């Protein structure tokens, strides 16, 4: 049981830039320390908090130094004093404010300062920490950050997600893991096969909880929570862009009195994002895009479209106009998507074109410009699209093209933002004509699992049309065999059924006869 009086003294001494207002419960002395939900945090103007001033183990501090972190962001400054003391946390903050580092520092601190559970056998695998993310891209980003921050902690980190490397990931789990980062589907798949146990989890982290609801993963999350270690034997942390009723219900149902922390909840977009709206015709968007790319000379640029066909066509047009661009969408194979994201992260690709399938999973540093080639149909998608820039306190530009097809969605977006997006009218000189000719555009076929060898390249057998082969070598149902009687024959005149369509009567069942005929 956490000693809240000692915890309060620790916060008073270490976390000076905050004033903690305390209200005593009825019937208790004024000097008594209140329950955690009675604590309210007020940010006072003062110098930023440095990680070195917090009670973080030296092994974790070395990883923080390697990452180049010195001062806490607002969400880190409010979260770490509570989470480092072992208390559950439910945090709300905008995208790109340092949530990942906040829960990773707390996780490594817990694992370094606590002894692991005793092994129940040589084959027993039980991760000490479990981190759940809604998308593969986000899970991979968390893994990269965890490897960097936990470099000196001696913890084995593993990321599992759907789409690739099923056997490889399974073998890695069997070799043991301390921190397991996973998407819900692949995690439950392995868990139901009893490759590992969740009863030894000491730290549980749920990232982007609102996105888990939106993507329909909440049933899977509740299944995991029911099969994990009891809430009073683990530390739980949940982070979300919004702490709505559904998210808080999940917190109070499966967490141990979590302390809610909100960072500027009324501001849905980071203030360092400069938003601009251009009203432009659908046929003029490419010209305006080429003009902006030439005049702005941006660094890493992320372009969002509403449809994958638009992304594929735009990729071909930009390449034809001598821009280093690649696109990712749901049809792209997972290994190819990972490779493209790595190239974009390393700076080998200047422009990345994406559909909304990647808008919540992309976590790439130093993106200077986000361009909404199409106005998103959902206001939440707009918020998370432009949240890819102006991360970690940096500035960024968010440019939106409103054409006749998608301009109707602007009203809902501005209602969510509670303000109008600044409109600029482009000059004629900003419209740049593309190169003459037409780019070689070829629609990418959906990438599915490869066909099995030995069956002629067809997964369903030797049939060339992809249908299930007929039973017994005969014709498929509903089609007459080639040997069927021609019209006018005796069998056709008598109304007898065709031989290819006869159904065998089960044994023991009497033949049905019309009523009156015995």
Q: What is the mean pLDDT of residues 307-328?
A: 93
User: So what's the pLDDT on residue 297?
Assistant: 78
Give the CA radius of gyration of the chain.
30
Query: What domains can you pick out in the chain, each with its CATH number?
Result: 48-262 (3.40.50.300), 273-430 (3.40.50.300)
CA dihedral sign of residues 309, 312, 318, 324: positive
Span 490-504, pLDDT tens digits: 444 444 444 445 555
Query: How far is Cα 205 from Cα 146, in angstroms, rounded to an integer?
Result: 13
Residue 477 has pLDDT above 50, yes or no: no
Are 51 and 84 contacting, i.e. CB atoms less than 8 angstroms apart? no
Query: How far is Cα 488 from Cα 509, in angstroms, rounded to an integer?
Result: 33
Query: How far is Cα 369 from Cα 367, in angstroms, rounded to an integer?
Result: 6
Span 349-374, pLDDT tens digits: 999 999 886 555 677 878 999 999 99
Query: How far is Cα 203 from Cα 83, in angstroms, rounded to an integer?
Result: 11
Work out the mean pLDDT of the chain and round it to a whole number. 80
218 Cα distance to chain centroid: 13
Span 48-79, pLDDT tens digits: 899 999 999 999 999 999 999 999 999 999 99
pLDDT band at 341 (very low <50, low <70, confident <90, very high): confident
Q: Is the pTM of the predicted complex or chain greater than 0.75?
A: no
Span 378-400, pLDDT tens digits: 888 898 889 888 876 678 999 99
Residue 452 has pLDDT above 60, yes or no: no
Q: What is the DSSP string of 464-510?
A: TTSSPPPGGGSPPTTS--TTSPPTTSHHHHTTPPPGGG--PPPTTPP
Residue 459 has pLDDT above 60, yes or no: no
Q: Where on the phi/psi map is residue 473: left (φ > 0), alpha (ψ -120 to 50), or beta? A: left
Q: To which H or E segment does residue 211 belong?
A: helix 209-214
Query: How far is Cα 346 from Cα 349, in angstroms, rounded to an integer?
Result: 8
What are the angstrom distances between the C-alpha of 305 and each of 309, 329, 425? 9, 10, 21
Query: How far is Cα 179 from Cα 33, in angstroms, rounded to an integer?
Result: 34
The percent helix, strand, coil of the chain (3-state, each to 5) is: 35, 15, 50
Percent of the chain with pLDDT over 90: 54
Q: What is the mean pLDDT of residues 302-326?
A: 94
Q: To which H or E segment does residue 226 belong?
A: helix 218-227
């Amino acid at each position: 049981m956490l000693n809240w009086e000692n915890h309060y003294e620790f916060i008073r001494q270490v976390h000076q830039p905050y004033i903690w207002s305390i209200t005593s419960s009825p019937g208790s002395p004024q000097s008594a320390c209140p329950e955690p939900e009675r604590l309210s945090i007020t940010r006072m103007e003062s110098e930023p908090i440095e990680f070195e001033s917090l009670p973080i183990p030296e092994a974790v501090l070395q990883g923080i130094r390697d990452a180049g972190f010195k001062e806490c962001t607002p969400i880190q400054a409010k979260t770490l004093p509570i989470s480092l003391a072992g208390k559950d946390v439910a945090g709300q903050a905008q995208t790109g404010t340092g949530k990942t580092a906040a829960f990773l520092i707390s996780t490594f601190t817990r694992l370094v300062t606590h002894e692991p559970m005793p092994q129940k056998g040589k084959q027993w695998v039980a991760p000490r920490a479990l981190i759940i993310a809604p998308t593969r891209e986000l899970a991979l980003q968390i893994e990269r950050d965890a490897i960097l921050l936990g470099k000196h902690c001696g913890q084995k980190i593993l990321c599992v997600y759907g789409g690739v490397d099923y056997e490889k990931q399974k073998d890695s789990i069997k070799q043991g893991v301390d921190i397991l980062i996973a998407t819900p589907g692949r995690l439950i798949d392995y868990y139901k096969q009893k490759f590992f146990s969740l009863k030894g989890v000491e730290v549980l982290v749920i990232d982007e909880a609102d996105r888990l609801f939106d993507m329909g993963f909440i049933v899977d999350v509740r299944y995991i929570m029911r099969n994990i270690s009891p809430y009073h034997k683990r530390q739980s942390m949940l982070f979300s862009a919004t702490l709505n009723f559904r998210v808080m219900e999940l917190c109070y149902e499966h967490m141990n009195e979590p302390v809610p922390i909100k960072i500027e909840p009324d501001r849905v977009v980071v203030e360092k994002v400069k938003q601009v709206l251009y009203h432009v015709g659908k046929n003029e968007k490419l010209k305006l895009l080429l003009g902006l790319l030439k005049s702005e000379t941006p660094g890493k640029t992320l372009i969002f479209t509403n449809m994958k066909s638009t992304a594929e066509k735009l990729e071909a047009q930009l390449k034809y106009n001598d821009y280093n661009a690649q696109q990712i969408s749901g049809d792209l194979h997972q290994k190819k998507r990972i490779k493209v994201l790595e190239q974009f992260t390393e700076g080998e690709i200047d422009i990345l074109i994406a559909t909304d399938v990647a808008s919540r999973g992309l976590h790439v540093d130093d993106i200077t410009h986000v361009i909404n080639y199409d106005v998103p149909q959902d206001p939440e998608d707009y918020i998370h699209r432009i949240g890819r820039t102006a991360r970690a306190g940096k500035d960024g530009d968010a440019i939106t093209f409103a054409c006749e097809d998608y301009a109707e969605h602007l009203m809902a977006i501005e209602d969510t933002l509670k303000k109008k997006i600044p409109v600029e009218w482009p000059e004629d000189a900003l419209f740049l004509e593309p190169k003459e000719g037409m780019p070689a555009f070829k629609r990418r076929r959906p990438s599915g699992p490869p066909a099995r060898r030995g069956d002629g390249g067809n997964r369903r057998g030797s049939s060339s049309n992809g249908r299930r082969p007929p039973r017994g070598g005969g014709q498929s149902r509903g089609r007459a065999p080639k040997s069927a009687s021609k019209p006018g024959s005796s069998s056709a005149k008598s109304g007898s059924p065709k031989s290819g369509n006869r159904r065998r009567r089960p044994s023991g069942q009497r033949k049905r006869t019309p009523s009156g005929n015995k």
